[in-house]
Amino acid sequence: MKNLYYFRDKYVRSQPSAFCPGCGGGIILNCFLRAIDDLGLDQDKILAVSGIGCTAWIPSPNFNGDTLHTTHGRAIAFATGAKAYNPDMTTVVFTGDGDGAGIGGNHLIHAARRNIDLTVILVNNMSYAMTGGQIAPTTMHGETTVTSPYGNPEFPFDITKLVKAAGASYVARWSNYHVIELTNSIKEAIQHKGFSFIEVMSQCPTQQRRIFNLRGPLESLPPRILDMFKEGTFVRGRPEKGNYVYAVPKGDVMDTLNAVQGLGDPGIVDHMGFGQVVKIDGDAEALRDKLDKIPEVKYVADHVEGKVELGLFEKYERPELTESLREIIRKARGEL
Amino acid sequence: MLEPGKHLVLGNVACAEGAIRAGLGFFAGYPITPASEISHHIALELPKEGGIFMQMEDEIASIASIIGASWAGAKSMTATSGPGYDLMQENIGYAHMTETPLVLVNVQRSGPSTGQSTDPSQQDIYAAKYGAHGDYEVIAISPWSVQEMFDLTVRAFNLAETYRTPVMLMSDGLIGHIEEKLVIPEEVEIVNRKKPTSLESTPWGTDKPSGVPEMPAFGEGHRLLVTGSTHQPNGVRNFSPEYHQRIVYRIRDKILNAEPVIRDIHKVEMDDAKVAILSFGASARPSVEAVEEARKEGIKAGLFRLKTIWPFPEEPVRELAEQVDAIIVVEMNTGKLVKEVQRVVEGETKVVSLAKVGGVLPFSREVLEVIRRELQ
Mean pLDDT for A247-260 is 95
Q: At what angle do helices A105-114 and B59-71 cross, to 10 degrees?
A: 70
At A239 the pLDDT is 63
At residue A160 the predicted structure's pLDDT band, cuts being 50, 70 and 90, is very high
Instruction: Say what the pLDDT of residue A126 is.
Output: 95
Q: Give yes or no for a contact between B121 and B359, defined as CB atoms under 8 angstroms apart.
A: yes
Report yes or no: A101 and A69 within 8 Å, Cβ to Cβ: no
Nearest CB partner across the interface for A68, out of B25, B48, B68: B68
Q: For residue range B236-254, what is the model confidence (pLDDT) as tens digits? A: 999 999 999 999 999 999 9
| CA dist., res. A261 & res. A273, Å (int) | 23
Burial class (CB in 10 A: 0-12, 13-18, 19+), B146: buried
**Chain CA centroid to CA B41, Å:** 20
Best mutation target, A68, A103, A130, A321, to test chain B (most B CBs within 10 A) = A68
Contact residues, chain A, for B58 at CB < 8 Å: 106
Could you tell me which residues come within 8 angstroms of residue A283 by beta carbon, excluding any fewer than 6 positions away?
A: A243
Most B CBs within 10 Å, among A60, A72, A78, to test the B interface = A78
Report, as an integer, the average pLDDT of A11-38.
93
Q: Do A77 and B66 touch (CB under 8 A)?
A: no
| Mean pLDDT of chain B, nearest integer | 97
Chain B residues touching A89 at Cβ < 8 A: 72, 218-219
What is the arithmetic mean of pLDDT over B272-293?
Answer: 97
Which of B70, B219, B237 minimises the CB distance to A89? B219
Residues of chain A whose beta carbon is less than 8 angstroms from a beta carbon of chain B are: 15, 43-45, 47, 49, 60-61, 64-71, 74, 77-86, 88-89, 106-107, 110, 325, 328-329, 331-333
> In chain B, which segments carry CATH 3.40.50.920?
265-375
Residue whose C-alpha is closest to residue B156's, from B104, B98, B193: B104
What pLDDT was estimated at residue A237?
Answer: 82
Average pLDDT (B317-321) is 98
Distance in angstroms (rounded) separating the CA atoms of residues A232 and A309: 9
Select from B52, B225, B237 the Cβ nearest to the Cβ of A84: B52
B20 neighbourhood in chain A, CB within 8 Å: none
Examine the pLDDT at A163 and tell me if it is beyond 70. Answer: yes
- For residue B88, the distance in angstroms to the closest alpha carbon of chain A comes to 11
CB B54 within 8 A of CB A82: no
Buried b / exposed e along A4-32 (16+ C-beta atoms within 10 A) = eeebeeebbeeeeeebbebbbbebbbbbb
Find which of B223, B231, B236, B238 to mutate to test the A interface (most A CBs within 10 Å of its CB).
Answer: B223
Is pLDDT above 90 for A15?
A: no
Query: Taking 70 as the threshold, does the pLDDT of residue B7 lie above it?
Result: yes
Q: What is the mean pLDDT of residues B5-33?
A: 98
Fold that domain B5-184 belongs to in CATH: Rossmann fold (3.40.50)
CATH 3.40.50.970 residue ranges in chain B? 5-184
Inform me whether the pLDDT recorded for A241 exceeds 90.
no
From the list A97, A122, A105, the residue with the least C-alpha distance to A200 is A122
Q: Which residues of B104-132 are buried (b: 16+ CB within 10 A; e: fewer)?
A: bbbbbbbbeeebebebbbbbbbebbbebb
In 3D, which of A4, A7, A56 has the Cα closest to residue A33? A7
Instruction: Check pLDDT > 80 for residue B97.
Output: yes
Select the CATH number that applies to the domain covering A241-303 from these four: 2.60.40, 1.10.260, 1.10.3860, 3.30.70. Answer: 3.30.70
Contact B72 A69 (CB under 8 A): no
Compute the nearest-CA separation of A1 from chain B (Å). 27
pLDDT of residue A174: 98
Mean pLDDT of A307-314: 96
CA distance A127 to A19: 16
For the beta sheet containing B225-227, the strands, ordered from the edge strand earlier in sequence to the opposite edge, are A233-235, A308-315, A170-175, A196-201, A119-124, A90-96, A46-50, A66-69, B225-227
Q: Which of helix, strand or coil describes residue B108?
A: strand
pLDDT over 90 (residue A273):
no
- For residue B37, pLDDT over 90 is answered with yes
Average pLDDT over residues A199-208: 96
CB contact (8 A) between residue B223 and residue A66:
yes
Assess whether pLDDT exceeds 80 at residue B205.
yes
- Say yes or no to pLDDT of A49 above 80: yes
When CB atoms are compared, the residue of B47, B72, B223 closest to A82 is B72
ipTM: 0.97
Selected residue with higher pLDDT from A238 and B344 = B344
The CATH class, in words, for A12-213+220-227+309-326 is alpha beta
- Rounded average pLDDT over A156-166: 97
pLDDT in tens, B103-125: 999 999 999 999 999 999 999 99
Average of per-residue pLDDT values in chain A = 95
Is the model's pLDDT at A242 over the cut of 80?
no
Between chains, do A82 and B222 touch, taking CB under 8 Å as contact? Answer: no
Region B2-21: what's the mean pLDDT? 98
Average pLDDT over residues B169-188: 98
Q: Does domain B265-375 sit in CATH 3.40.50.920?
A: yes
* pLDDT score recorded for residue A272: 87
Closest in A69, A84, A332 to B54, CB measured: A84
Q: Minimal Cα distance from B225: which residue of A?
A: A67
A188, A189, B116, B206 from A193: Cα distances, Å:
10, 8, 45, 40
Domain ranges of chain A: 12-213+220-227+309-326, 241-303
Using pLDDT thresholds of 50, 70 and 90, give the confidence band for residue B32.
very high
Residue B121 near residue B109, CB atoms below 8 Å: yes
